[in-house]
Amino acid sequence: MRSALIVAAAVLTLALAIGFAARPGRPAEFTIIGTNDFFTLDPATMTFSHDLRLSYAIYEQLVRLDNHGDFAPVPGAAESWSISSDGLTYTFRLRENARWSNGDPVTAHDFVFAWRRVLMPDTASRYISFLFHVRGARAFFGWRNEQLTAYREGDGERSAERAAALLDEAFERFEQTVGVRALDDHTLVVELDTPVAYFLDLCSFGVLSPVHPPTIRAHERLSDETGIVEIDAGWTKPGTIVVNGAYVPTRWAFKGGMRLEASPMWWNAEAVVSETIEYVPIEDPNTSVLAHLTGRGDWHMGVTVSYLPDMLERKAAGDEAMQHIHAIAAFGTYFWSFNCRSTLADGRPNPFAEAGVRRAFAMAVDKQRLVDRVRRTGERTTDVFVPPGSIGGYDSPGGLAFDPGGARDQLAQAGWIDRDGDGVPENSAGEPFPTVELLYSTGSYHDDIALAMADMWREALGVQSTLLGKESKLYRDDLRQGEFMLARGGWFGDYGDPTTFLDLNRTGDGNNIRGFSHEPYDTLLEQAARELDPASRMDLLERAEAITMREQVPLIPLWNYNVYYLFDPGDEAAGRAGVTGLTTRPRTIQYFFELGAAGAEAAR
Amino acid sequence: MTGMIVSRLIQLPLVLLAIYTATFVLAWAIPGDAVAGDEDKLIDPAVLASIKARYALDDPARFYVEYLDGATGLRWARRSLAGEDAPGPVFDLGPSFTHADWTVNEILASSLGVSITLGLLAVGIALVIGLTAGVIGALRPGSAIDAITLVVALVGVSLPSFVNGTALLMVFPVWLGLGTVGGWGTFADLWLPAFTLSLPYAAYVARLTRLGMIDALRADHVRTARAKGCSAWRVVMKHALKNAFLPVLSYLGPACAFAMTGSFVVEKVFNVPGVGQHFVDAVLGKDLFVIMGVTLVFSALIVTLNLLVDVLYRVVDPRIE
């Protein structure tokens, strides 16, 4: 028996001896709960919204956006800028007192270095197209890409010398052909191919953050097998990473949280409300909500629990315990895409190639009913793609409203009429309307939406549908290959211009999985791109959106997304402030340095 | 016994190679694109091609060989011999696609200890609870206390951890204010997940002990011990439990392995940064290097634990050759 006790004791001692991977430091002044760890701190390769949100805390871009107002650009790392009259040349004047967290000055050269890095295919930045507006940038990317492919697959010798020679050639070519250069340490000049009305907005985007060249160079390695500049991801670890923003990451454990401390080097350090911020990733939605409700966090960045509708209903009913939940309008639209190609992937004729059929299906969906009965989380339904009210100067053109009678007429005009009285419409050849396949990714609410829409279409149009739920990677493969009839979709805008949505329906756009192509629409977008007068430009874009939302309908917009935050709103009657600094404006850009929880702490 | 240990140690790399090959085939068979990501935005095809070339994702055979080269330490040995300044880690398990800033080595380094701590503690708790309940049940078979342990054991085995875990989370931190939700790093954070994880094992240990004890208490040597006047405590602890413990011991090996590697539900519910949940995420996201690396390390762990239990078994019961 003694051995049993020894084994048990040994097991327990070993368990405790191995100890804990992470020890909590002192509590931070502000604690954020998120549902994911950050994926990367390398701005060039960021894609996820919480990574980008962090990029606004640890880096400072050329400009910032007025996130509490109308998102106008305000000075960031650049204290001022001027734009040439043809809208092609931007000259940024950088702050003389801007410093990296190690004390080095932030210079125009650092921006050139960072942007060149984004433009190199080696870096594999997903947001590379943002820089394609810059003169020569697209050609440079294509050229370097060809060189690398030739190096990798060609018969030439693969050696360190040749890889280095290729890289030198690339840097030289960049300098000669790409319109980004530093006039001096504090003047950055950017030349564009065509005027881009929202270019300043792009300059505020996290991916275009500057990076500290010496740190990056110290971690780069040129592969003689592929010719690619590889980076050792270790450069982003606390202690090594050098940043130019309001905060410096001082602790980061894999899925174990991050600690941010205010950078004394930041030129605007007095503006920082919370000196320390703790980020706690909790992947399980329920656990993360319980963590907030037990006082572990000040702000929960994204509630996704299945009982969210009940939380919102309890809040609406005045439940004291649920006052922390907030629905915030986000800069995104939930929609279902039509396959607009003339034939389906399996060769069958595609009934949705006909705009009239698409209109009929769009008009037969009772969106309010979907939101009220199926979703139950209070989204605003929409008949257009660009979220109304989210972009200054853009008046939403409006789209097709719910009208089952009109939907039937549209279908009949497209030649689909119930000719034999069985309730299912047939075409002139007597063939019944094919069973509509609804493709979606499983594991979310899309199946409920698909079922409800199938019901509405059966009722209004007599059309049968079938649900096709696939695991998200398979669903995405099908989308890319155009193998679907209708597919669920979602889009969040990247910058404050209608084109961040409208480009999705442009002929040949990488994200135009619908295969939609309509010349008048493309023409209007092109005209808008050339138009220098902001008002006339918005006018053209409104007309373009009107074409897609009223006539062509390549997709059915259902609602604008909400994000759901948990935070203490304070108590005005009691004169107590809650969490301060969070904006509820639709683009949900949050700058961490503005966040404070003094009032919320006092209440606990 | 030395011979057994040596031959098992020789088998170890072969077992691991077989597991590596099987995992490789399965991981590559997971449909979908490893690098394309899950967001609604599609990547430029040229960018995609360049990433794939970098990680040998365009050529399964090259991937198989290159990964093995790095993971076994061969690449490190070659680079060291060639006198490179930075030959990299000895066993290079590759990068993570989804968590681009971390290598699989770093991920395992930060989370393996957590999973082992949690697993071992759970097994420890399971032993304490299980042995106590089993002995009490065996001493008074059919009594109320036996019935209660039976019911508790049944619940422990039958209810999934996410139910137990969520219930415990609601009762202790949320209603009673004991401990934290989603925290990790202090002893207070540890006991709730460990207890949740221990429940099914405790239940099984209790039933094993109870059966073993009932048999042992009827055995001749126990009657002899009683007859010569041993105290009841001594009879139970020394003479009966020693024999009844053997089946428990043989269960401990796989129990430890499962508790350390299969705790992902508990890790998820309590937000414990262990390996289990990363592994599940990796499979869902087709994060090839993480899948391969974690499987290899877990396999090595399980094979070693089994070996350890076999050795212990021989130490405890000299009758086994």
Contact B44 A510 (CB under 8 A): yes
What is the residue whose two structure tokens read 């929609």? Answer: A335
- Find chain B residues with C-beta within 8 A of A126's C-beta: 37, 41, 43-44, 47
* Cβ atoms B214, B140 nearer than 8 A: no
- Please answer whether residues A119 and A173 qualify as being in contact, where contact means their C-beta atoms are separated by less than 8 angstroms: no
pLDDT, residue B174, reads 85
**pLDDT tier for residue B259 given thresholds of 50, 70 and 90:** confident
- Residue A384 and residue A557 in contact, taking contact as beta carbons nearer than 8 Å: yes
Structure confidence at residue A375 (pLDDT): 93
DSSP-assigned beta bridge partners for residue A565: A326
Contacts of A256 in chain B (CB under 8 A): 110, 184, 273
pLDDT, tens only, A382-437: 999 999 888 888 999 999 999 999 999 999 999 999 998 888 999 999 999 999 99
The pLDDT of residue B225 is: 83
Instruction: List the Cα angle B233/B235/B240 in 5-degree steps.
Output: 120
Taking only residues 93 to 122 of chain A, the set having a beta carbon closer than 8 angstroms to any beta carbon of chain B reads: 121-122
How high is the pLDDT of residue A250? Answer: 96
CB contact under 8 A, A254 and B183: no
Residues 233-272 (A) with a CB less than 8 A from some CB of B: 233, 236-237, 253-256
Q: In terms of CA atoms, which chain A residue is nearest residue B268?
A: A284
Who contacts A301 (Cβ-Cβ below 8 Å, separation ≥6)? A32, A33, A34, A35, A50, A53, A563, A565
Q: Which residues contact residue A488 at a Cβ distance below 8 angstroms, ignoring those fewer than 6 apart?
A: A334, A335, A336, A337, A438, A439, A440, A441, A446, A449, A450
Task: Classify residue A257 as left (phi > 0), alpha (psi -120 to 50) or beta.
Answer: left
Within the 458-497 window of chain A, which residues sit less than 8 Å (CB to CB) from chain B? 471-474, 476-477, 480, 489-492
Mutation for testing the B interface, residue in A2, A5, A7, A149 having most B CBs under 10 Å: A7
Measured between CA atoms, the residue of chain B closest to residue A127 is: B43
> Mean of the per-residue pLDDT values for chain A?
91
pLDDT band at A313 (very low <50, low <70, confident <90, very high): very high
Task: Determine the longest span between alpha carbons in chain B, in angstroms.
Answer: 85
pLDDT at B48 over 80: no
Q: Residue B318's pLDDT is what?
A: 73
SS3 B141: coil
Flag the least confident range among A253-262, A277-286, A496-505, B61-70.
B61-70
Highest mean pLDDT among A344-358, B175-189, B203-217: A344-358
Task: Look at residue B289 and tell me whether its pLDDT is greater than 50.
Answer: yes
Looking at the partner chain, which of A3, A237, A511 has a beta carbon nearest the beta carbon of B42?
A511
- Taking only the tens place, the pLDDT of each residue in A557-587 is 999 999 999 999 988 788 888 899 999 888 8
Which of A290, A305, A555 to probe by mutation at the B interface, max B CB count within 10 Å?
Answer: A290
Would residue A388 be called left, alpha or beta, if left means φ above 0 and alpha means ψ between -120 and 50 degrees? beta
| Cα–Cα dist A258/A57, whole Å | 12
The whole-number pLDDT of residue A11 equals 57
Per-residue pLDDT for B39 more than 60? no
| Residue range A30-83, pLDDT digits in tens | 999 999 899 999 999 998 889 999 999 999 999 999 999 888 999 999 999 999
Residue appearing with tokens 């979907």? A370
The percent of chain A in helix, strand and coil, each rounded to the nearest 5, is: 40, 20, 40
Mean pLDDT of B137-162: 83
Say if residues A244 and A99 touch (Cβ distance below 8 Å).
yes
Contact B181 A124 (CB under 8 A): no
Query: Do A477 and B107 lie within an 8 Å CB cutoff?
Result: no
What separation, in Å, do the N-terminal and C-terminal C-alpha atoms of chain A show?
A: 51
CA distances from B68 to A59, A226, A407, B75, B93 (A): 38, 19, 60, 9, 9
Beta strand A380-381 pairing with A299-300: unpaired
CA atoms of A555 and B142, how far apart (whole Å): 68
- A-chain CB neighbours of B286 within 8 Å are 473
**Alpha-carbon dihedral angle through residues A201, A206, A209, A213, given to the nearest 10 degrees:** -160
Contacts 24+ apart (CB under 8 A), A507-515: A510/A129, A510/B42, A510/B44, A511/B40, A511/B41, A511/B42, A513/A337, A513/A479, A513/A480, A513/A482, A513/A487, A513/A489, A513/B42, A514/A337, A514/A338, A514/A339, A514/A340, A514/A554, A514/A555, A515/A339, A515/A340, A515/A341, A515/A482
- Minimum distance, in Å, between the CA of residue B254 and any CA atom of chain A: 14
Helix axes B275-284, B288-316, angle to 10 degrees: 140
- B271–A282 C-beta distance less than 8 A: yes
The DSSP secondary structure of B204-234, one letter per residue, reads: HHHHHHHHHHHHHHTSHHHHHHHHTT--HHH
SS3 A564: strand
Which residue in chain A is spatially nearest to B283 when comparing CA positions?
Answer: A473
pLDDT (mean) for A471-477: 86
Option in B53, B113, B182 nearest A287 (CB): B182
Give SS3 for A489. strand
Round to whole Å and give the CA distance between A143 and A166: 11
CB A106 within 8 A of CB A94: yes
d(C-alpha B279, C-alpha B260), whole Å:
13
User: Residue A6's pLDDT is what?
Assistant: 62
In angstroms, what CA-CA distances link A297 with A252, A289, A323, A600?
A: 17, 10, 15, 10
Beta carbons of A244 and A210 less than 8 angstroms apart: yes
Phi, psi of B136 (to 5 degrees): -60, -45
- Residues above pLDDT 70, as percent of chain A: 95
Show residues of chain A in contact with B181, CB under 8 Å. 287, 290-291, 294, 296
**How many Cβ pairs within 8 Å bridge chains A and B?**
217
The answer to whether the pTM exceeds 0.80 is yes
Q: Are A178 and A144 in contact (CB under 8 A)?
A: no
Of the candidates B99, B78, B98, B96, the one whose C-alpha atom is nearest the C-alpha of residue B87 is B78
pLDDT band at A477 (very low <50, low <70, confident <90, very high): confident
Looking at this protein, which amino acid is placed at residue B1? M
Mean pLDDT of B58-79: 85
Helices B275-284 and B104-139, packing angle to 10 deg: 120
Residues A128-133, mean pLDDT to the nearest whole number:
89
Say if residue B239's pLDDT is above 60: yes
**Taking CB atoms and an 8 Å cutoff, what residues of chain B touch A152?**
53
Residue B180 has its nearest CB partner, among A23, A296, A477, at A296
| DSSP code per residue over B34-62 | SSS-SSSSPPPHHHHHHHHHHTTTT-HHH
Q: Which whole number is the average pLDDT over A257-275?
A: 95
For testing contact with chain A, the best of B48, B181, B309 (most A CBs within 10 A): B181
CB contact under 8 A, A294 and B252: no
Contact assignment for A1 to B46 by CB distance below 8 Å = no
Residue B230 CA to residue B236 CA, distance in Å, equals 10
Distance CA B212, CA B215 (A): 5
Reported as a pLDDT band with limits 50, 70 and 90, residue A602 is low
What was the pLDDT predicted at A21? 38
Mean pLDDT across B120-146: 88
Q: Which of B50, B191, B230 to mutate to test the interface with A (most CBs of A within 10 A)?
A: B50
- Alpha-carbon distance A379 to A92, whole Å? 40
Distance of CA A134 to the CA centre of its chain: 22
> Which residues of chain B have a CB within 8 Å of the CB of A19?
113, 117
| Cβ under 8 Å to B: A residues 270-299 | 280, 282-284, 286-288, 290-291, 293-294, 296
B134 vs A266, residue with greater confidence: A266
ipTM of the assembly?
0.85
A510 lies within 8 A of chain B by CB: yes
Quick check: A79 and A95 in contact, CB under 8 A? yes
Q: Which of A335-339, A578-582, B159-163 has the highest mean pLDDT?
A: A335-339
Residue B321 has pLDDT above 90, yes or no: no
| A237 exposure class (CB count in 10 Å sphere: 0-12, 13-18, 19+) | middle
B100 contacts in chain A (CB < 8 Å)? 39-40, 42, 45, 233
Mean pLDDT of the residues in chain B: 83
